[in-house]
Structure 1
Amino acid sequence: MTKWTAADLPDMTGRTVVVTGATSGIGLITARELARAGACVVLAVRSVARGQAVADTFRGRTEVRELDVADLASIRRFAAHWSGAIDVLVNNAGIMAVPLSRTADGFELQLATNYFGPFVLTNLLLPHITDRVVSVSSQLHRMGRTHLRDVADLTGRHRRYNATAAYNDSKLNLMLFSTELQRRLAASGSPARSLIAHPGIAATNLASRSAAGKVTRVLGFLFNDAEHGALPSLYAATQDLPGNSYVGPSGPGGLKGHPEVRRPAAAALDPSAAARLWALTARLTGTGADLPAAA
C-alpha cells in the first residue's frame, strides 16, 4: 500500500484554513505544510508574537490571530471578528496531564482546552465553514468516560481530579462532539463535514508531563515523530473522505505509521450519549442550540 506523506498534499491554492495551537508540535507542522501547499493559513494562537515568529518561517500565505481556546470570551471575540469563508477548521490546540486548575468560565483546564473550546469555536464559526472541520483527538479516548448526569458532573466538580483521566475524558468528549456534529450537519443538509484525526503517540511537547511522554523518551523509535504525527491531520484536512472518518497511523495499535482511516472506540459512536453531551454543553456554553439534532 502506498505510504501517504505531506509530499502528496493537493494544491490548496485559494483555500482558507484555520489551525488552532499552531505554534508548536503537530499544529505547527500542519499549518506549515498547508501553507506550503498553497492555502492561506490562519494561525489561531494565544501569543500573536510567537505565532508571527513561527509564521515568518513558513513558505506561503499566512495570517496570525489571537485565540485562547480555553477562554470562551477569547473564542467569541475571534468568531465575532471573522468574515469570509473558512474551507477547513483544524481544532488542533490541546494540553495533556496538567495540574488541576480552572478557567475564568469555571471549567477544568483540560476539558476547557480539549473539549469546550473546540465545541464553542466550531459552532460559532460554522456559518463560515464551507468544507470540513477536523478535530484532533487521541487513541486515549478509548480509556475515557462520559460524565452526563448534569452540568456539574460534566465539568468535573463531582469527582476527584486525576490528570490522566481528565485528559482521556476530554478526548472522548471531543470524539462524541465530532460524531454528533456530523449527524447534525447531515440532517440539516449542510455540505460541511466533520472528521477526526489522531497522531498515534508522537514525540511532542504535549505529552512531556505524561506517562506516554516518558515512554517516548526511552522508546522513541517505536512511535511517531512530530512530522509523522501531523500526517493524519493533513490527510483528514485534504483528502476526499466521508464525514466521521477517523484517521490515524496505520501501524499496530495506531501508534505509528502513515495515515489511514481507522475505527474509533464504540463509546465514541454512541448517538444517545453524544446527543446528551451536546445538550449539556450547549447549556453550559450558550452555543450549539442553533444546529438541531438529527431525527
Structure 2
Amino acid sequence: MSDFLVPDQTDRTWLVTGANSGLGLETSRMLAAAGAHVVMTARDAAKGRAAAEEVRVGLGGRGSVEVAALDLADLASVRALAEGWERPLHGVVANAGIMMVPQGRTVDGFELQLGTNHLGHFALVNLLLPHVADRVVSVSSALHKGPPLDFDDLFLERSYSPGRAYQQSKLATLLFTAELQRRLGASGAAVRATAAHPGYAATNLQSHHAVPLMNTLMAVGNRVVATSAEEGARPSVMAATYDLVGGTYVGPSRLGGLRGAPAPASRSLEAADDGAARRLWDVSEELTGVGWAL
C-alpha cells in the first residue's frame, strides 16, 4: 500500500467530520501531509485538540490543521458551525459516524444512528454547500447492503435493531450522495459528490455495540482480520482528491471489499434507487428544516 499517492493539496481547505480518531484522524493526516489546511471537527473539544496536535507533529512543515466543534446529533451545533463559516472550502469529508449502538435519540428526536450518520451530515453539507468549490465525500459502509429504507418507520420505532439501524443509515448515505450528485449536475455546479467505504478497518467504531458480546468479537476481528485505520482512510482520500466522475463510490479492491488498494466499488441495487434517493432527500429536508442551497 506504500504506492498510494495523494495529489498535491496546497492552498486547499478541507473540513473533515469525526476527525479526532480513526478514519477521520487518518484522513486529516493524509490531506494535511499533501499540503492542505484541514479543519478537523470533533464533538469533544479536548480530544479534537489532542488529535490536531498529533497531526501537526508529523507534518514537517507541510499543511496545517485547526479544530472546530461539531456535534452531528445536535442540529444547533451543525448550524452554529455552518453559519460561522466565511471562507472558501475546497471540500467536505462527511466521515463521522456511530455503529450499532443501543437505541437512542439525537437532541432533535431522530433515531440516533440515522440522525448522526445521515441527517446531521445532510444538514451540514447543504448549509456549507455555497462555500464548497470541488467535492463532497460521504463515508458509507459495505454493510449498507440489505433491505431498502422503510419510509413508514425510518426511526425503527416498531422494532429496533442496532444492525438494521446502522445498515439503513449507511444506505441513506449512498442515496444522499446519488441525489446530491443529480442536483449538482442539474444546476451546472462544478462540485462533485462522491462516496467511500473503508472495508474492514480497525477503529474505535466497533467498540460501542449494543450487545456487549459483539464488542468482544469485534475486538478479535480488529486484531485478526481488519486493516489499519490509515489503510481504511485511503478510499475516502481517493474519493476526495482523485479526478473521479461524480457519484463514484470507492472502496478496497480485495477480499470482497474488506481490504486492498482503493478502487471504484459496487453498491447495492437499493443504493441505486433514484426514486428512494429523491424521497429520502424530501424527508430529510422536512426533518432538518434545511433545504437545497444552490
Partner SS for 2:54: coil
> What residue number does 1:176 align with?
175
Worse-matched range after superposition: 248-257 or 51-60: 51-60
Q: 1:142 aligns with which of 138, 141, 145?
A: 145
Residue 45 of structure 2 corresponds to residue 42 of structure 1: no
> What residue number does 1:19 align with?
16
> What residue number does 1:154 align with?
154
User: C-alpha deviations, 1:212-245, integer Å up to 9, x for none?
Assistant: 8725614744332211111101111110001110
Partner SS for 1:57: helix
> What residue number does 1:91 align with?
94
Q: CA separation of 1:5/1:283 partners in 2, compared to 1, >3 Å: closer, same or farther?
A: farther
Q: CA separation of 1:69/1:91 partners in 2, compared to 1, >3 Å: closer, same or farther?
A: same
> What residue number does 1:130 align with?
133
- Inter-partner Cα distance in structure 2 for 1:5 and 1:213: 34
Q: CA separation of 1:227/1:280 partners in 2, compared to 1, >3 Å: closer, same or farther?
A: same
- Inter-partner Cα distance in structure 1 for 2:149 and 2:222: 31
> What residue number does 1:72 align with?
75
- Inter-partner Cα distance in structure 2 for 1:4 and 1:119: 34
Residue 268 of structure 2 corresponds to residue 265 of structure 1: yes
Q: TM-score, normalised by structure 2?
A: 0.92
- Inter-partner Cα distance in structure 1 for 2:132 and 2:82: 12
Q: Is residue 203–residue 213 contact of structure 1 (8 Å, CA) maintained in 2?
A: no
One-letter amino acid of the structure 2 residue matched with residue 105 of structure 1: D
Q: TM-score, normalised by structure 1?
A: 0.92
Worse-matched range after superposition: 227-236 or 53-62: 53-62
> What residue number does 2:236 align with?
233
Q: Aligned Cα RMSD in Å? A: 1.7
Partner SS for 2:145: helix
Q: CA separation of 1:89/1:219 partners in 2, compared to 1, >3 Å: closer, same or farther?
A: closer
Residue 100 of structure 2 corresponds to residue 101 of structure 1: no
Q: 1:243 aligns with which of 246, 250, 268?
A: 246
- Inter-partner Cα distance in structure 1 for 2:14 and 2:3: 19
- Inter-partner Cα distance in structure 2 for 1:217 and 1:180: 37
- Inter-partner Cα distance in structure 2 for 1:213 and 1:82: 41
Identical counterparts, % of pairs: 50
- Inter-partner Cα distance in structure 1 for 2:13 and 2:240: 11
One-letter amino acid of the structure 2 residue matched with residue 206 of structure 1: L
- Inter-partner Cα distance in structure 2 for 1:130 and 1:92: 19
Shift of 1:5: 4.7
One-letter amino acid of the structure 1 residue matched with residue 255 of structure 2: P
Q: CA separation of 1:40/1:221 partners in 2, compared to 1, >3 Å: closer, same or farther?
A: same
Q: Is residue 206–residue 218 contact of structure 2 (8 Å, CA) maintained in 1?
A: no
Shift of 1:144: 4.5
Q: Is residue 235–residue 259 contact of structure 1 (8 Å, CA) maintained in 2?
A: yes
Shift of 1:136: 0.5
- Inter-partner Cα distance in structure 1 for 2:219 and 2:251: 18
User: C-alpha deviations, 1:67-125, integer Å up to 9, x for none?
Assistant: 11111000000000001111110000000011111122011111111110111000000
> What residue number does 1:256 align with?
259
Q: Is residue 133–residue 194 contact of structure 1 (8 Å, CA) maintained in 2?
A: yes
Q: Is residue 141–residue 169 contact of structure 1 (8 Å, CA) maintained in 2?
A: yes
Q: Aligned runs of 1:183-198 on 2, under 5 Å?
A: 183-198=182-197
Q: Is residue 18–residue 42 contact of structure 2 (8 Å, CA) maintained in 1?
A: yes
- Inter-partner Cα distance in structure 1 for 2:111 and 2:259: 30
- Inter-partner Cα distance in structure 2 for 1:228 and 1:161: 32
User: C-alpha deviations, 1:171-210, integer Å up to 9, x for none?
Assistant: 0011101111000000011100100000011111101244
Residue 66 of structure 2 corresponds to residue 63 of structure 1: yes
- How many residues are matched? 284
Partner SS for 1:143: coil
Q: Is residue 208–residue 214 contact of structure 1 (8 Å, CA) maintained in 2?
A: no
- Inter-partner Cα distance in structure 2 for 1:219 and 1:125: 35
Is there any run of 5+ residues in structure 2 with no aligned partner, and where? Answer: none
- Inter-partner Cα distance in structure 1 for 2:121 and 2:284: 11
